[in-house]
Amino acid sequence: MSAERRGGGRNRAGGGARRGGERGTDRGARSGRRDGGREEYGERRASSGERGLGGDQVEGINAVRELLRAHRRPIREVLIATGREEREGIDEIVDLAFEGGVRVREVAPAQLAAMAKSEAPQGVLARAAAIEPVDPDTLLADPRAFIVALDGVTDPGNLGAVMRTAELAGATGIVIPKHRSARLSPAAMKAAAGAAEWLPVAQAAGLPAFLDRARRAGVWSVGLDADGETDVHDLPVADAPVVLVLGAEGRGLARLTRDRCELVARIDLVGHLDSLNVSAAAAVACFAVARRRAAG
């Protein structure tokens, strides 16, 4: 069901965190609330100081395979660790590289491990041109826009996992802030499992300003927060152009970001724990939107 805008396009929803239909008492029980503090110090420093998106080093079988399949950016070389017993995924990568004219170089496992920046590169690493961001207005101009925006997610594993979920749910793009956000580090690329090759990524100077632009473009902004009045499975705007906004690890949506959201939705929790990891919350919300869209 498509929804018409009322009151100049502002339709804020409020309420309490809901558990099994009851009001919760912990305002911190926001989706993605309790998974902060686990990123490595080096990753945190890199995400706050790097320029651009990154993505120039790709590790892991799935991520390297999709890099080669997509043919969307130049690839300098693929490095393969010698002596691997499991060759199924590796052989496919070698074949794809040969077809695409990409150099493949075998190196000792210890050498590849020393070059890797993720925990488990699975014996394969590729070096490529960095991923170029798209213009946010390009994403907003899509008449079927389904955009995921991340408000200060600094854990690279969470960024990659959200990207993987968003791509599989049919999202048309993802938006991350230029500052105080994870970048496409090797760890994020591995967690994305190749989604970074297919899902357009835009950077915004600030999410509140981006959400203002979305409203002017006729795209609904839906924040995900435990205080949301609307169940995420019952969003009246799910089949309209929409931006789904997820908050950072630890603090949830920033106040200014939340204030710019035209709707605020919640995920009802029925167990004993009080929150979901942001990537798990993204999975619930993205596929709730995808289901409504598929139903027409």
- pLDDT digits 0-9 by tens, 165-184: 999 999 999 999 999 899 99
Domains of the chain, start order: 18-38+133-295 (3.40.1280.10), 57-128 (3.30.1330.30)
254 Cβ contact list (under 8 Å, min separation 6): 151, 152, 207, 247, 248
Q: What is the pLDDT of residue 248?
A: 84
What is the amino acid identity at position 177?
P
The residue that leads in pLDDT, 5 or 86, is: 86
241 dihedral zone (left: phi>0; alpha: psi -120 to 50; beta) = beta
pLDDT score of 84: 67
CA pair distance 233, 293, nearest whole angstrom: 11
Identity of the highest mean pLDDT range in 1-5, 15-19, 40-44, 49-53? 49-53
pLDDT-based confidence at residue 51 (cuts at 50, 70, 90): low
